[in-house]
Amino acid sequence: MKKNPFLQLGVIALSLLSSASYGQTGTLNISTDSKTTISKHIYGQFAEHLGHGIYGGFWVDKTLPVKKQDRIRLDIVDALKKIKIPNLRWPGGCFADEYHWRDGIGPATERPRMVNTNWGGITEDNSFGTHEFLELCDLLGCEPYIAGNVGSGTVDEMSKWIEYLNSNSTSTVVQLRKKNGHPAPYKVTFWGVGNESWGCGGNMTPEYYTDLFKRYASFAKDYPGGRLKKIASGPNSDDYHWTEVCMKNIPNWMMSGLSLHYYTIPTGNWGKKGSATDFSEKEYFGTMVNCLKMEELVTKHSAIMDKYDPEKKVALVVDEWGVWTDPEPGTNPGFLYQQNSLRDALIAGTTLNIFNNHSDRVRMAALAQTINVLQALILTDKEKMVLTPTYHVFDMYKVHQDAKYLPIKLSVPDYEVDGKKIEAVNASASQDASGKVHISLVNLDPHNTITITTGLSDVKWQTVSGQVLTSANLTDVNTFKDTNKIHLSTFSGAKKDGDKLVVSLPAKSVVTLELK
């Protein structure tokens, strides 16, 4: 056994129960010596004008027989409120850099139509615009995160959008907002200055983008009650040069965050990504190897940021992440609709553990995407709705939001396929304001139960309870005919043994425990 390379070290050494009788075994030590908070904004979501994410997802036809406010679908709102999503990123993605905000305000019947050139070439009527998005955020009880148009928009256009949203002056643009039905300023704070400027956002060099960022950011003004948290368009995956240039050229006081985008591609091949539901164990193993690369990316980008920002004032914002497979057969390939299996849940749990364990630098993230697109939380078909396995992971992990991060030290068996190895278990832990300790564990091994013995000598607790998410097969999914095939269950595989915790993790499972 070896030490887990992607979990935070520097924890107290604790005596451990002998594990000789448990077969596949591991150990987990937890320390309460921490001053870091796991920001709730790590659990953010992403809703782009793409496929049926907005239209047919959040925003439905007036005749659809579901409960609605205006055209916002309320069963979706209720489901997302349950998992306490903290922020929602909009309108893109690649769509953001061809979106002109004035097209999406005023009477819906008078709004100009546009062609979504990035995603399917469909015509959009702009009926879902700024006011509708902010009404959605209000219903969800989450903060809006708007990505501004740098690729095809002007400095004045972005500046005026912010004024429209946040100012309470008597200017013409503010009067226009009031005329359109919102007298008070919205006070939006999270603001993306462009998206993927290295690619669909303009195919720029980092040197060019950083100069452009400073220009746009200079005219992105703060208004009372709405001080902007400006987020720079950061690197694609392992483009460490992009991060270096951004951190070197953009003053820390000018940006609150630097974005990072990374998708888990099962095959590692963008041309043929692999199926969401039909894959072998070898393909599953390769997918998890690619998922675990997030640890390397976060570590290396953070190290570069530390050189220029040792006080960690600038957050690493992983505002696009998740598994990206081939679209479901028979669907529009430009809509990026894919099913969501138990494998996706293991990816979600593993990635969130990585973020939690790097919460000193990773303070915001957004899963791509919320509804009907990529690794969605929710799938819909007209009035039907299904919660995916990934949704249930976010439900389990909501206990970590704004909780005290607890450093951990993990030693576990390897999971091996064709002579290649990854660690079978990953984990993260936190302590909430009431003193309850929560531990989330993911067993990536599809065959073996693994017993973890946890040292907790500096944690006072009497009882342990928990939830588990698993299923018979890695390829299992929830469907509109069988909506509850993969669901949360009460976990009974943990027990107190003296001052230690002994946990039997089922194969291919996600478990969250509560100690109190």
Write out the catalytic residue numbers: 196, 320
Q: For residue 338, which amino acid is it?
A: Q
CA-nearest of 98, 121, 124, 96 to 111 is: 124
| Strand, helix or coil for residue 386 | strand
Q: How far lies 416's CA from each of 286, 403, 413, 447, 498, in Å?
A: 11, 34, 9, 11, 33
Instruction: State the angle between helix axes of 240-249 and 281-308 in degrees (0 to 180), rounded to the nearest 10.
Output: 20
Asked if residues 97 and 150 have their Cβ atoms less than 8 Å apart, the reply is yes
The rounded Cα 42 to chain-centroid distance in angstroms is 6
What is the Cα–Cα distance from 348 to 426, expressed in whole angstroms?
Answer: 12
The residue assigned the tokens 């936190």 is 430
Q: Are 501 and 514 in contact (CB under 8 A)?
A: no
| Phi-psi category of residue 168: left, alpha or beta, with phi > 0 → left and psi -120 to 50 → alpha | alpha
Is there a contact between 304 and 243 (Cβ–Cβ < 8 Å)?
yes
Q: How far is CA 396 from each of CA 36, 173, 390, 405, rounded to the nearest angstrom?
A: 21, 43, 10, 16
Residue type, 465: S
**What's the CA gap between 101 and 197, in Å, rounded?**
19
Rounded CA separation 409/228 (Å): 37
Hey, what amino acid is at 91? P
